[in-house]
Amino acid sequence: MIRSFIFILSCLVLISPAKAADYAYYGFEPSIVTNYVAVKKKMGYVRLTVELMIENSANYEVVEHHSPLLRDAIITIIGQQPEAKIKSINGRHEIQKLCEEKVKNLLTKETGKPLIKKLLFTQWLDN
């Protein structure tokens, strides 16, 4: 009984075609460079590379069209972060999540859909 069930299940898996994910990646060029307020009112800066994982490659041009708005939002969020958050790994992860939520919200407001699956920081340099 169990063997026949496993056989039928494996046949169904072989028969039903799996839909391949159709993703595209948009990278902000040039890299984002912005200031943040460091301790003792000293200015620090961070340089980062940001990639957007777009859920459907057909939406690449739409995301590209809105990239100035998205770039500004990312720069604004990073510029408001304290030095401790900028310099810690957990803080960077929190900043990444904030940026991802903001980008999804802006794209939803502009297009009716979030369009991206993930926002990735692929490079992060700070002083």
How many angstroms separate the first and last alpha carbons of the chain? 65
Are the beta carbons of 121 and 49 closer than 8 angstroms?
yes
pLDDT band at 42 (very low <50, low <70, confident <90, very high): confident
Residues ≥6 apart with Cβ < 8 Å to 115? 54, 55, 56, 59, 62, 63, 104, 107
Domain ranges of the chain: 22-126
Rounded CA gap, 53 and 66, in Å? 14
pLDDT band at 4 (very low <50, low <70, confident <90, very high): very low
Q: Quick check: 7 pLDDT over 50? A: no
Are the beta carbons of 36 and 78 closer than 8 angstroms?
yes
* pLDDT given at position 58: 94
Task: Quote the percentage of the chain above a pLDDT of 70.
Answer: 83
Q: Quick check: 3 pLDDT over 80? A: no
CA dihedral of 55, 50, 30, 112, whole degrees rounded to 10? 40
CATH 3.40.50.170 at 22-126, yes or no: no
